[in-house]
Amino acid sequence: MKNKHIGILLGGLSAEREVSIASGEAVYQALTAAGYRCTKIYVDRDIDRVLRQTPIDVAFIALHGTYGEDGCVQGLLEIMGIPYTGSSVMASALAMDKLKAKELFRLYNVPTPPYYCVGRDDAERISEIHGSFGFPAFVKPRRAGSSVGAGRAKDIQELEQLVEQAGRFDDSVLVERFVQGREIAVGVLDGRALGAIEIVPAAGFYDYKSKYQKGQSEYHLPARLSPTRYKGVLNIAERAVRCLDATGATRVDILATEGENEYVLEVNTLPGMTPTSLLPKIAGAAGYDFTALCEAILQRATLGASVGNSDRAATANTESATDAKSARATC
């Protein structure tokens, strides 16, 4: 890969733009220091023109949220014949859509909290829709990440407010049964779990501030679970990734209750790569320092569903397989 021109895609159009820039900058610094030829490409609505003016061999996607994590950019890269990191168009779209992901979880017997979905215009009759669903309830935009627009409602008044708030980020809002449990994140690479970290946020739940401001959360790595249960959590994470057909480096968010039950909340196909992000912490405990993690992600770049139809994709994949063996030996 070191004779390839790597484009680091960062920024984007979503509410997570700042997080994406932080992720992209960190990846750029790590890969450049390791001898890779990289160019930062700030994603906006003219990204197609920018990519034509800045020819690259491989795209390292460091985007988060709408238009970056949901298959849109992945589709553009496929049309342009540029191999990219992360999951395919379909897997990216499914994982980003919390409703469709949960439907697949249920289909494949991956435990997930009970839920229902409403439009942002349903706020006036939310009491009727909610019915006997119960409280507390957790509200989040259907297609957003980094806990943007999310919150916990303890009564119908808070529920109405949170549905309206989440509706500012998406036309559709997911209401989920609140499950009291430990917040666990599992890092997965190529379908194999690297480990699990437990998060204890000062705010009560892992919100935007807890994720990206230092000192707002306490971490336990590995997660404080019995060996048997720890192994079970890793297995559930791998199943969740598999049922969405996600590839590359992913992060699975799980709740582990005191009653020995685990619930998958979501699969993140483009996990954060900032200094406070969870995937780098988990990978570090598994033997990958930050640079090695970036290289492992880069080496797995493909052309998604169209792999094999492009000379560039075939070349990238061949080198990826060779370099991946070397990386695993080193780590």
- How high is the pLDDT of residue 10? 98
Q: How far apart are CA 40 and CA 25, in angstroms?
A: 8
Q: Catalytic residue among 88, 146, 147, 310, which? A: 146
**CATH number where 16 lies:** 3.40.50.20
Same domain, 227 and 274: yes
Q: How far apart are CA 114 and CA 134, in angstroms?
A: 11
- How high is the pLDDT of residue 320? 42
Q: Catalytic residue among 206, 208, 212, 288, which? A: 212
Active site residue 146: yes
> What's the sign of the alpha-carbon dihedral 299, 304, 309, 312?
negative
Mean pLDDT of 243-263: 95
Same domain, 200 and 248: yes
- How high is the pLDDT of residue 315? 39
Please report which confidence band the pLDDT of residue 313 belongs to, taking 50, 70 and 90 as the band edges: very low
Same domain, 53 and 155: no
DSSP strand pairing (58-61 vs 5-11):
parallel
* pLDDT per residue as tens digits for the range 156-202: 999 999 998 888 888 899 999 999 999 999 999 999 999 999 999 87
Using alpha carbons, list the distances in angstroms from residue 258 to 84, 119, 154, 181, 217.
40, 33, 21, 7, 20
Active site residue 251: yes
- SS3 state of residue 309: coil
Same domain, 134 and 216: no
Same domain, 14 and 75: yes
Q: How far apart are CA 175 and CA 120, in angstroms?
A: 12
Same domain, 195 and 248: yes
Q: How far apart are CA 78 and CA 306, in angstroms?
A: 7
* pLDDT per residue as tens digits for the range 94-148: 999 999 999 999 999 999 999 999 987 787 889 999 999 999 999 999 987 656 7
Domain boundary (177, 197, 228) is at 177
- Record the pTM: 0.86
Which of 178, 180, 220, 172 lies closest to 199, judged by CA? 220
Active site residue 261: no
Active site residue 14: no
Active site residue 212: yes
Active site residue 16: yes
Same domain, 164 and 242: no
Same domain, 252 and 201: yes
Q: Catalytic residue among 11, 16, 207, 263, which? A: 16
Q: Catalytic residue among 266, 317, 319, 320, which? A: 266
Length of the chain: 331
- How high is the pLDDT of residue 256? 96
Residue 292 belongs to some domain of the structure: no
> Containing domain of residue 47, as a range?
5-85+301-330
Phi, psi of 111 (to 5 degrees): -65, 135
Residue 295 belongs to some domain of the structure: no
Residue 79 belongs to some domain of the structure: yes
Same domain, 249 and 221: yes
Domain boundary (132, 147, 177) is at 177
**CATH number where 98 lies:** 3.30.470.20
Same domain, 193 and 260: yes
Amino acid type, 240: A
- How high is the pLDDT of residue 259? 87
Q: Catalytic residue among 142, 152, 251, 300, which? A: 251
Q: What is the DSSP code (8-state) at residue 84?
A: B
Phi, psi of 306 (to 5 degrees): -95, 10
Same domain, 125 and 15: no
- How high is the pLDDT of residue 209? 55
Q: Catalytic residue among 160, 183, 198, 253, which? A: 253
